[in-house]
Structure 1
Amino acid sequence: MTEQDHSAAIAVLNDACRAEPGAGWVMTQGVWALPEADRLKAFAAVTAFSDFSEDNDPHGERDFGAFEIASAKLLWKIDYYDLDLDKGSPDPADPAVTKRILTLMLAEEY
């Protein structure tokens, strides 16, 4: 598999992760402190996010995004772990050995 194919496979899996709020998603205390309506808007913004560019996605894996809700800047990031969540995944393109965790946070918490 070429590096480009590997990145494309990771991107497909990351898109699937983003499409399902709750499935491997975590959020920071700052996001939990937002009003419920704003949290719901943030979830929708993550699932609909498509503003990928060379600046925010240099490897083509679609694993990071930034947006604003009610004047709060939020970030989301997908990280790749082994199935026991002990260390990094040996191959993020292989769902049989990878657990994806999407973290949603306020930019000021980064």
Structure 2
Amino acid sequence: MTRSKTRVDRTDAVAKPTRVQTLNDQLRQTGVGGRVVLTAGIASLPAKDIAEILQAIAKFDAFDGSNDPWGDHDAALLHVGDRQLFWKIDTYDRAMTNLSPDPADPAVTIRVMTIMLPEEY
């Protein structure tokens, strides 16, 4: 029995966000699979504070429909101590000149996670 084209497309449409989510989580949790950029406001903090921020981002798992409507795990606003911060993962083509043609494919994608203070957005 062969699958219909409609069935294959639906299956791929469901699987694709899961791959994007997994790749984004890998970068966020381990720093592997892309680049991590600290804005000037974050980079100017003491090393201990930066380490706490990176740990909080890695442990963050409070994704839901209100803060992650596409299920990509690509951004969040959170508090670390008394400091509010924002992180965002963007996906670019390998030349870093355009958005990725397929964020689920690491062969054509470079992920960049930017960590910033809200006032730097």
The answer for unaligned runs of 5 or more in structure 1 is none
Q: How does 1:1-110 map to 2 (within 5 A)?
A: 1-2=12-13, 4-21=14-31, 23-110=34-121
- Post-superposition shift, 1:64? 0.7
Q: What secondary structure sits across from 2:15 in the alignment? A: helix
For the Cα contact (< 8 Å) 1:38–1:70, is it kept in 2?
no
- TM-score of the two chains, using structure 1 as the length reference: 0.92
Look at both structures and tell me which one has the larger radius of gyration over its CA atoms: 2
Q: 2:24 & 2:61 partners in 1: Cα distance? A: 12
The answer for unaligned runs of 5 or more in structure 2 is 1-11
C-alpha RMSD of the superposition:
1.3
Q: 1:48 & 1:69 partners in 2: Cα distance? A: 12
Structure ranking higher in helix proportion: 2
- TM-score of the two chains, using structure 2 as the length reference: 0.84
- Post-superposition shift, 1:77? 0.4
* Identity among equivalent pairs (%): 39
Q: What secondary structure sits across from 1:55 in the alignment? A: coil
Aligned-partner residue type, residue 73 of structure 2: R
- Post-superposition shift, 1:70? 3.0
